[in-house]
């Protein structure tokens, strides 16, 4: 009897899993997979193939999780952007916290038909203006307007922004322009094929464990991030 009671208690106290979906993309640039797991409430986990590094979209906020110098680091992308704007001439100016940037002046999207990828139908777009040095050069994106895939697109957009933001100390205002371009692209829908960089392989129903959507530690504050960045400037070491 005690064994049964213990089992029932263990089952009752176990963290519930969230039903949802899993979208798997192939990474055409590095030969890895991008996996986006989305729970029914819209929270998501994005894994790009680097062990121990991933992103969490929780309640509309995107957190970057990884290790630096052997220590676990957790930070909201909007806080990283705000800290960067404090230690160098402002670049993002609230873009990652909801401020809508000016649409990229050179950005232009032209519909070029339809295509099915990963079992999903999308619209083919020729997108111009992503490379200022080649304004007449288009990149091809296949985008889906399916509402069921919208949570996947929301998580993927934030993941891409998370790759851009840390580059701001190197490319300055160019980082904000990349974020603006990304926002304009995702306004068209959820990518099925992002210019060959990410191509949808499959979308499937999945049970997303609650543990997979839990922050593994406390997120750093803007002040803590600023202190780390200033210390890195003094030593010449990169701050992540």
Residue 7 pLDDT: 39
Supply the pTM of this predicted model: 0.86
Domain assignments of the chain as residue spans, ordered by start: 14-229
Residue 213 pLDDT: 97
Residue 201 pLDDT: 96
Residue 127 pLDDT: 96
Residue 237 pLDDT: 57
DSSP the chain: -HHHHHHHHHHHHSPPEEEEEEEEEEETTTS-EEEEEEETTS-EEEE-SSTT-EEEEETTEEEEEEEETTEEEEEEHHHHHHHHHHHSS-SSTTGGGTPPPPPPTT-EEEEEEEEEETTEEEEEEEEE-SSTT-TT-EEEEEEE--GGGHHHHHHHHHHHHHHHGGGHHHHTHHHHHHHHHHHHHHTT-EEEEETTTEEEEEEEEEEEEGGGGS-SSPPPPHHHHHHHHHHHHHHT----
Residue 28 pLDDT: 74
Residue 12 pLDDT: 38
* Averaged pLDDT in 10-residue chunks for the chain of 240 residues: 41 55 88 93 91 93 90 95 94 81 80 97 96 86 97 96 93 91 95 95 95 96 95 69
């Amino acid at each position: 009897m005690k064994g049964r009671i213990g089992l029932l208690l263990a089952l009752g106290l176990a963290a519930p899993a969230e039903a949802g979906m899993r979208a798997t993309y192939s990474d055409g640039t590095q030969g890895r997979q991008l996996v986006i797991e989305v729970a029914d409430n819209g929270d998501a986990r994005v894994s790009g193939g680097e062990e121990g590094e991933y992103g969490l979209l929780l309640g509309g906020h995107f957190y970057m999780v990884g290790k630096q110098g052997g220590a676990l680091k957790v930070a909201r992308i909007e806080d990283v952007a705000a800290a960067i704007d404090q230690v160098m001439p402002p670049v993002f100016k609230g873009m990652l916290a909801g401020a809508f940037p000016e649409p990229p002046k050179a950005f232009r999207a032209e519909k070029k038909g339809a295509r099915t990828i990963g079992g999903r139908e999308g619209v083919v777009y020729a997108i111009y203006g992503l490379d200022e040095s080649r304004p007449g050069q288009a990149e091809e994106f296949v985008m889906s307007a399916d509402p069921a895939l919208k949570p996947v697109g929301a998580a993927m957009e934030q993941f891409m922004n998370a790759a851009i933001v840390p580059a701001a100390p190197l490319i300055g205002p160019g980082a904000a322009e990349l974020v603006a371009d990304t926002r304009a692209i995702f306004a068209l829908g959820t990518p099925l094929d992002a210019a060959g960089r990410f191509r949808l392989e499959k979308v499937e129903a999945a049970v997303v464990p609650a543990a997979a959507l839990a922050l593994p530690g406390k997120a750093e504050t803007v002040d803590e991030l600023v202190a780390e960045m200033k210390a890195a400037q003094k030593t010449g070491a990169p701050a992540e």
